[in-house]
Structure 1
Amino acid sequence: MSGANRETVREVETPGGPGRVHVHRPPNPRGTVVLGHGAGGGLGAIDLAIAREVLVGAGWAVALVEQPWLVAGRRVAGRPPTLDAAWVPIVEALVTGRGRLPRPLVVGGRSAGARVACRTAGPLEADAGLLLSFPLHLPARPEKLRADELALAPDPSWVVQGAADAFGTPTELREHLAPGTTLIEVPGGHSFPKGSRSALTAAVTQVAGMLPG
């Protein structure tokens, strides 16, 4: 139907097996946002769902990526190098070749997906980042920092972080943000409850108004 958003699902071969991408494309998109899921769940997380709703409504094509381990039905995510090796060809397949989605390219995701997006942003020449619940460290292990990964986030990037996130509070993250990264604090922990919908919607709406493109 003319003027309607199109939703498609496609599989992309990767070194770790096929990944699955759910593409939500409005008419004449301003650019593309590619988001990955966390290590403990799929695409049903409330922050991913809200990001898709808000960004598609703002005119962006949004691609939600299921890593090969999840597509294969495994319960445990692979090691970071295997996640990166799958993510890169999936994103490249979306923005190159026939039927490609338009740039600018925004990469991100929640938790482990945000880490993957940071580590691979350089090779993918990403234009911006959207990081949801970035896991700066494991719970009760603040000495095991992933600040080096956060430093690889594209410029500009936005981090939407729960005020009580056991994987890194907004106060902890502020010490490690690159100059081009903006932190938006919302109520909640690492996984957001349904009651966080309003705050998450406001946060992603704020980001949508600042994205390049």
Structure 2
Amino acid sequence: MVDFLFDGPEDARVTLLLAHGAGAAMDSGTMNAATAALAAEGIRVVRFEFAYMASRRTPAGPKPPPKAEKVMPEFLAAVAALGPVAGPLLIGGKSMGGRVASMVADGLHARGEIAGLVCLGYPFHPPGKPEQLRTAHLIGMTTPALIVQGTRDPFGTSDEVPGYGLSDQIEVLWMEDGDHDLKPRKAISGFTAAQHLKTMAQAVAAFAARIAP
């Protein structure tokens, strides 16, 4: 049984199944803000939680996040539980959620179950540990993908990522001065978090139109 949160138009042309990051629930402030921006661009957003995060809502209490590989079956189960949708289905997530989505994307795409992948703040490496890359599967990725990344994201900056040799199926949209939540410092960048989220959402809508016209 997968509990979903639905946002955006019920008759949307595109649906995005979105998973949360390692330490924040599907209804965290960051996820709520990103979802609202996406819904405002006409995208149907469906959120779900991995079991370790959902546990915090039960008497069992919170559990630490497992390794990304351990929750890959849960993402596949969420896709299956959602079932067929009207129009193309994209999968993705914030940070760890996007990483897990990227790890199951090629199989789903090869079977025609999804049209593409969207990652918001991809965790290319742990902060302060650029040698521990999480990019091996991204080099040969065959699924069309959009990664929206802040230029000063400690999980992968604009100085680091271009050298990773990512698949040519992956587009990276850089948010000027954005952190891991895409938030900029307005005094430095001239942008607000709301502006960056609107740009992100518009880019996702345009990406979906390109890969599944």
Q: TM-score, normalised by structure 2?
A: 0.80
Residue 31 (str. 1) matches residue 14 (str. 2): yes
Q: Where in structure 2 are the equivalents of 1:32-47 lying within 5 Å?
A: 32-45=15-28, 47=30
What amino acid maps onto 2:92 in structure 1?
Answer: G
CA deviations 1:2-39 (Å, max 9, x no partner) are: xxxxxxxxxx2xxxxxx431122514221210111111
What amino acid maps onto 1:185 in structure 2?
Answer: W
Question: What is the match of residue 57 of structure 1?
Answer: 40
- DSSP-derived class of the 1:134 partner: coil
Q: CA separation of 1:152/1:42 partners in 2, compared to 1, >3 Å: closer, same or farther?
A: farther
Q: For 2:25 and 2:140, locate their aligned partners in 1 and report how far apart those are by CA, in whole Å.
A: 24
CA contact (8 A) 1:43 1:64 kept: yes
CA contact (8 A) 2:8 2:40 kept: no
Q: For 2:47 and 2:141, locate their aligned partners in 1 and report how far apart those are by CA, in whole Å.
A: 19
Q: CA separation of 1:205/1:122 partners in 2, compared to 1, >3 Å: closer, same or farther?
A: same
CA contact (8 A) 1:48 1:109 kept: no
Residue 199 (str. 1) matches residue 189 (str. 2): no
Give the one of 101, 125, 140 matched to 1:117.
101
Q: For 1:80 and 1:154, locate their aligned partners in 2 and report how far apart those are by CA, in whole Å.
A: 20
Residue 180 (str. 1) matches residue 173 (str. 2): no
Give the one of 78, 93, 98 matched to 2:81.
93
Q: CA separation of 1:106/1:153 partners in 2, compared to 1, >3 Å: closer, same or farther?
A: farther
* Structure with the bigger percentage of strand: 1
Q: For 2:194 and 2:8, locate their aligned partners in 1 and report how far apart those are by CA, in whole Å.
A: 23
Q: For 1:169 and 1:49, locate their aligned partners in 2 and report how far apart those are by CA, in whole Å.
A: 24
Question: What is the match of residue 188 of structure 2?
Answer: none
Residue 84 (str. 1) matches residue 72 (str. 2): yes
Q: For 1:155 and 1:170, locate their aligned partners in 2 and report how far apart those are by CA, in whole Å.
A: 22
- DSSP-derived class of the 2:160 partner: helix
What amino acid maps onto 2:122 in structure 1?
Answer: F
* Structure with the bigger percentage of helix: 2
